[in-house]
Amino acid sequence: MTMKVTILSMEYPPNIYGGVGVHVGNMASELSKLMKVEVRTKWFPRAQRRPDVRLYRVPTVGGKSGPAVDALKLDLEMVSDRMDTDIVHTHTWYMNMAGALAGKLYDIPAVATVHSLEPLRPWKAEQLGRGYELSKWMEREGLCACDRVIAVSEGMKKDIMKCYPIPSSRISVVYNGIDPAVYARREDGMVLRKYGVRAPYVLFFGRLTRQKGVFDLLEASRKFLPGTRLVLATGKPDEPGILEDLAKAVKGRKDVVWINSMLAQKETIALYSGASVAVTPSVYEPFGIVVVEAMACGAPVVASAVGGIREIVESGRSGLLVPPADPPALAGAVNRVLADKALAGKLARNARRRVEERFTWKAAAQETFELYKRLLR
């Protein structure tokens, strides 16, 4: 009998907001080579109609708290649609409650992958208002009811145990990854010209949120070696205020190129490949998939020594790590790489090798599949 998993996620390609959408799309694809996979996700305009993907549309609520209330309604809608599956697997606080409910309604094991933790993101109160209290409650109740929790790094596992009464025996670590055949060095001058990017440049790629440290990077960039440009490739903002703040911060900065749009994968790879340095200055980062992508594309990496990044980057060998929220240290590390081509080359070569050995979706899917089998036994 072929095993089947139902994955619940707010994001699914091409509806990608951040690393979770990338993770779910790739893991569903790799797992489907090993077992049956069904995905249940929120309805979105560009959805590709597939028999193994179910889309759910619920009326939205206005105001700051709306997204949290909408998530709870979506959870109820998903589990009301009967599940013919062996395991339910949820991603993020949006879906954790649905996993817990599905486990009880259909008597199946519930698994949750934790990509971040609500109690460790206090800036979400600015985004969600009182809805932040609801999001924390949904995450707590959902995770505590799960049969197994997957952490995307050892650091994430420790954070889970600090925040919630979940024993180590119920938490497994499965790293995120990339497809090394897709993420590889491919320079493309046409992409750079399209966005007005010229070398040498330092690249930031990621969601526009307080946790990513983009304002620390802007301050540090004032001390970069002369002639160096900073390219900010940001996705959707968490809330309108941060978009306005960034617009003010880059106004008049001729050394800054701000790409304020979602990029195609080909464009992202071209930007990584042409970068003199790829920077991830996060103050909170449970894993850091953009770090792995940059490393795979041959960009020397400078990143904050936080969360899962400390498990990805071997400082001095496959990248350089700096303290978070420390613009002078960040500028110093970037300038060190810019000024030393031999160091940059060494970091890039070692980074690519490390990614191939440790961080692939194929390996992540195999580990997850084995976890499912253990649960069902």
Ordered DSSP codes for 72-110? HHHHHHHHHS----SEEEEESHHHHHHHHHHHHHHT--E
Residue 182 inside a domain? The answer is no
Confidence of residue 369 (pLDDT cuts 50, 70, 90): very high
Whether residues 315 and 250 fall in one domain: yes
* pLDDT for the residue numbered 37: 97
Whether residues 295 and 367 fall in one domain: no
Residue 184 inside a domain? The answer is no
Cα–Cα distance between 129 and 106 in angstroms, integer? 34
The share of the chain scoring above pLDDT 90, in percent, equals 84
**Residue 298 sits in a domain of what CATH number?**
3.40.50.2000
Range of the domain at 241: 189-358
| Over residues 145-167, mean pLDDT | 96
Whether residues 166 and 202 fall in one domain: no
Residue 18 inside a domain? The answer is yes
- Please tell me the chain's helix, strand, coil percentages from 3-state DSSP, rounded to the nearest 5: 45, 20, 35
Residue 162 inside a domain? The answer is yes
Q: Shortest CA distance to 167 belongs to which of 175, 176, 177, 157?
A: 157
Cα–Cα distance between 80 and 75 in angstroms, integer? 9
CB atoms within 10 A of CB 165: 8
Distance of CA 126 to the CA centre of its chain: 21
Residue 52 inside a domain? The answer is yes
Q: 77 with 101: CB under 8 angstroms?
A: no
Whether residues 369 and 265 fall in one domain: no
Whether residues 342 and 372 fall in one domain: no
Residue 141 inside a domain? The answer is yes
Whether residues 145 and 247 fall in one domain: no
Distance of CA 51 to the CA centre of its chain: 26
* pLDDT(240) > 90: no
Whether residues 131 and 210 fall in one domain: no
Residue 136 DSSP one-character state: H
Whether residues 193 and 309 fall in one domain: yes
The share of the chain scoring above pLDDT 70, in percent, equals 100
Task: Give the chain's mean pLDDT.
Answer: 94
Confidence of residue 1 (pLDDT cuts 50, 70, 90): low
CB atoms within 10 A of CB 310: 18
Whether residues 46 and 32 fall in one domain: yes
Residue 183 inside a domain? The answer is no
Q: What are phi and psi of 207, to 5 degrees?
A: -65, 155
- For residue 305, count CB atoms less than 10 angstroms from its CB and return exposed for 0-12, middle for 13-18, buried for 19 or more: middle
Whether residues 219 and 332 fall in one domain: yes
Whole-prediction pTM value? 0.87
Whether residues 18 and 156 fall in one domain: yes
Tokens 């970091």, residue located: 347
| Over residues 65-89, mean pLDDT | 95
| Over residues 173-184, mean pLDDT | 95
Whether residues 255 and 172 fall in one domain: no
Q: pLDDT digit string (tens) for 281-322?
A: 999 999 999 999 999 999 999 999 999 999 999 999 999 999
Three-state DSSP class for residue 47: coil
Looking at the structure of the chain, the number of domains it has is 2
Confidence of residue 176 (pLDDT cuts 50, 70, 90): very high
| Over residues 356-364, mean pLDDT | 95
Q: pLDDT digit string (tens) for 48-72?
A: 778 899 999 988 888 888 989 999 9
